[in-house]
Amino acid sequence: MKTRTLILLAMACGLAILVAGGAFFIRLATHKDELTVPEIRAPGQSQQIGPVTATVTGSADAGDLVVVQVRLESSEHLDDAGSGWALLVTGNLRQSCAVAFPSADGDRFVAFASGGVQRMWKL
């Protein structure tokens, strides 16, 4: 194989890598919101979730349950304010239709989702 052919092949490979990198950068820039790690708030801090402003005011253990006190404010009617809540304990997700969850040891995070948006609090 001639040197000229090898140089042209190397330039073509370099151009292909450059184009692929540019396409990846554009894709990354257009989807940056999906790649952002959500901010985890502490109790007492409010977060906007669609039309709902949710505030976790505290939590307490009650026997084998974790009871989470919340305050919800909404500009729209909520059919079921208890749905959308979940408790994450050491990697295990516990869904609930009320804001009381089975207790477990470990780091605790509570999440509320509405309208495709989810926010988290560390308990």
Together in a domain, 74 and 99: yes
> 42-99: per-residue pLDDT in tens?
888 988 887 888 888 888 888 888 888 888 888 777 777 777 788 888 777 776 645 6
Average pLDDT score, the chain: 82
Cβ of 74: how many Cβ atoms within 10 Å?
Answer: 14
Q: Are residues 56 and 111 in the same domain?
A: yes
Do 116 and 72 reside in the same domain of the chain?
A: yes
Instruction: Give the per-residue pLDDT at 15.
Output: 94
Which residues touch 107 (CB under 8 Å, ≥6 apart)? 89, 90, 122
Range of the domain at 71: 40-122
Residue 26 sits in the same domain as residue 47: no
Overall number of domains in the chain = 2
Q: Do 61 and 112 fall within a single domain?
A: yes
Cα–Cα separations (whole angstroms), residue 27 to 14, 17, 19 = 20, 15, 12
pLDDT for the residue 14: 94
